[in-house]
Every structure is written in structure tokens, then in C-alpha cells.
Structure 1
Amino acid sequence: MRERHRAWADDFLRDNTSLIITDAEERKGRWKELFGNDHPIHLEIGTGKGQFITGMAEKNPDVNFIGIELAKSIIVMAGAKLKESGVTNARLLHVDAADLKELFAQNEISAIYLNFSDPWPKKRHAKRRLTFHTFLEQYEHILQPGGEITLKTDNQGLFEYSLVSFSEFGLKLKEVHLDLHSAEVPENVMTEYEEKFSAKGQPIYRCRAEFT
């Protein structure tokens, strides 16, 4: 899908460098300095329009959140949402998440969220899936011991693939929901896609996996 042009995007990025970080690689190993506290850092890869990270930051003031989003027209929407909310415990990175080791030091992150990631359904594109083993290797490096990955998706194929990928990599599955909303999980914060898909009656899949 072609990225939608937003005329105000460049101005927003230029005027909000304290919210949307542009020197991410230089902050590797020093992210807690940016937040000015010693709270755990949670990372969302593919933050979209920002509903999830904003909601999580509001509900969890003792956790710092970082969201990664590559699309310029999308990250500025997330930035605007965070700015309007007034939360101070969330930042965004306008970068490609292909090499997380360049952005974060070993054991610097406490938890990772993968929300409605591109399923890349063709077998030849499997290495692009965010639960492919090369990504899991990066997650293991930047996560603290016992760190968790939480995956949410409406795509059954990606969910099944991810469960197998997690298991083969040696992760411990702590939670598996085949229809998240029927389980009425109280702490769930919905994304924009989640609201859209669940309104159509589509099941939302979620799992939590821990590196042991």
C-alpha cells in the first residue's frame, strides 16, 4: 500500500525531536537517561498510529515505552496522539527495525510487543516475519533475562507460524488466546487494527512467550 502523504509530517518531525527521536543509534545503552528514571523499558515494533503505546503509557506510568515505526505519515500520527495525551513515559523512533542490536544494548529492554505485524504469507518471504528466527535472536539479545514477547494478530497463519517459531527457538509459552476478546482479558489495550477487526467479528489471537 502506498504511504499517504501528510503535508505537515516534516514540520512535525522537525519540531518534536524530543518525542520522535532521530539519533537512536547514539542512545544505545543509554535509553534510561532519556527518560530520567530507572523504570523498565518496553518496546513496540510497528507502533502504527499510536493508540496502543499511548494507552499503555497512560495505564503504566512506572514503565517507559518506545515505539518503532518506519512510515513517516504514520509515525507523525502516533506522535500527535502521544503529544495530545500528555504522557511523558513514551518516545517514538522513526527507524527501520531490521537491526535492533544497533539501537539497543544487551539486556536493555524488558518486554517487546508485536501488534498486527505484516504476516508476509508467502513462504519465500518468511524471513521478513517479525517472529522469524533471525528476529528472535535480536530480541533475545536486547531483552533482559526472562524478557517477554507479546504477539497480537488477526492472521491465523502468522499466529500458528509464530507459535512454532517460538517453540523451536526454546521460548516458553506463558499465554495463548485463540479468541482474545471472548476471554475478556482486563489489561488488554486495543490497537486501531484490533478495534476494526474485532468489530467485524474476527477473532484476535494473542500469546506471550518468555525467553528462558
Structure 2
Amino acid sequence: MRLRNKPWAVKLVNDHPEAVIQDPDPAKKINWEERVADFSRPLEVEIGSGKGQFITTLAKRHPERNYVAIELQTTAAGIILRTKLEEELDNLQILRADAINLADFFDADSIDILYLNFSDPWPKTRHEKRRLTYKSFLKNYQTTLKPEGHLEFKTDNSGLFSYSLVSINNFGAKFDFVSVDLHHEDEEILKNNVETEYEHKFASKGNPIYCLHARFN
């Protein structure tokens, strides 16, 4: 969902280049060692962070890990940045860019976990290549994830979930976990689940949340 433009968010992003990388050149890798306090820590990346409830919660819970929120909209990036500054989340960086260039922004075998949360389903067949679980995106995930790394995907859209299961399976990845009703899994699984804004909204209405974890190596 596209957010209404907020001038304060645009100004905030422009005022904090140390926290937000804007429109990076795909021809040049980002030097993450210069952007994070301790590059040796595990790196987790969310593609399409929206207002950032998920990624900022993780960053607060796990100061021993590094996080990157990828978001195309400047307003969304500004909302995430506001939380980052208020909560003093030094382990979170924001990348305002198109995820199609993921493999240009990160080194091979550098990411521990990639998160896709409630991505745009792009339901029309002619838009298949825009789905974040289309094979060209999966190739980028395979390239940038560490050999022991994995992808975590959540959605409320049954069509996108079915498509993703087939696409990921055909790509040759292995599933560690699949659920067609995440919020009714056992307590051990739920205690590690971090809700997004959309997830809370949909689940509170009784809608099932679909989830999968997959490995590419």
C-alpha cells in the first residue's frame, strides 16, 4: 500500500544520510562495514518494511544482530527512521531502494536471514515478474544468503502463498517450515513470531496467516 507523502518524513530522511542510504548506484556495492558498528554480527534484511514495526521490534530485541530495512517509499523510510532515532537502534540501517537490485547492494553469502512480509501479491498474470517470490528474485536471495541462511515469508494472500510454494519448490529450495494458519501453531513457534502491522490487522479479524521458511543451499 502506498503511503501518503509526508513532508516531515522526506526532510528527516534527507537530514540523516548516516542512517538512510538513498538510491544507491547498483554498479557499486555498499560498504556495509562503514555503516554498522560491528560487521561481524549476523545480518538480517527485510524487503518491503512498510512502517517498520517488524524490523524495529527485531532490532530492539536483538542488539547483537545487524538489521537492514529495504523500503522504496521515502515516507515509509522516514517513519522507520523516526522509530530508529527514538529507540536509539544503532544496529538498524535503512536502504531506500528497489529490491530487484538486492544482489548489487550486498555481497554474496553475506545475509543470514531475509524476510518477506505481506508483499504486494501482484495478482495479474502479466505482473508475475514483479512478485518477490518470482525466480529472478529467488536467484538474488540464493546469491546473497549465506550457505546456512534462509528466507522467511509471511502473507495473508492465499493465491500468493500457493504461487510462492510452487515457485520456491521449482527453484530447488528446501522448506524448513510451512503453515497455512500461523497463529494457530503451537506455543513454541508463536513465541518467536514478530507481528507486522498488517499481520496484526488481518489476524485480529480471524484471517489465516500463511508462512514458510526456505533454504537455497
TM-score range, shorter chain: over 0.9
Give the Å deviation of 1:86: 1.6
Matched, 1:34 2:35: yes
Task: Tell me the distance in 2 between the aligned counterparts of 1:51 and 1:44.
Answer: 11
Task: Tell me the distance in 2 between the aligned counterparts of 1:177 and 1:2.
Answer: 28
Task: Tell me the distance in 1 between the aligned counterparts of 2:85 and 2:201.
Answer: 24
User: Which blocks of at least 5 consecutive residues in structure 2 are unaligned?
Assistant: none
Give the Å deviation of 1:23: 6.8
Aligned to 2:206: 201
- Alignment coverage as a number of residue pairs: 212
Task: Tell me the distance in 2 between the aligned counterparts of 1:101 and 1:13.
Answer: 24
Give the Å deviation of 1:29: 5.9
Matched, 1:49 2:51: yes
Give the Å deviation of 1:28: 2.5
Alignment of 1:106-125 (within 5 A): 106-125=108-127
RMSD of aligned alpha carbons: 1.6
Give the Å deviation of 1:33: 3.5
Partners of 1:32 and 1:39 within 8 A in 2: no
Task: Tell me the distance in 2 between the aligned counterparts of 1:17 and 1:177.
Answer: 39
The 3-state SS of whatever aligns with 1:99 is: helix
Partners of 2:37 and 2:91 within 8 A in 1: no
Q: TM-score w.r.t. structure 2 length? A: 0.92
User: Which blocks of at least 5 consecutive residues in structure 1 are unaligned?
Assistant: none
Partners of 1:42 and 1:64 within 8 A in 2: yes
**AA in 1 matched with 2:5:** H
Aligned to 2:12: 12
Aligned to 1:73: 75
The 3-state SS of whatever aligns with 2:35 is: helix
Partners of 1:29 and 1:108 within 8 A in 2: no
Give the Å deviation of 1:211: 1.2
**AA in 2 matched with 1:159:** F
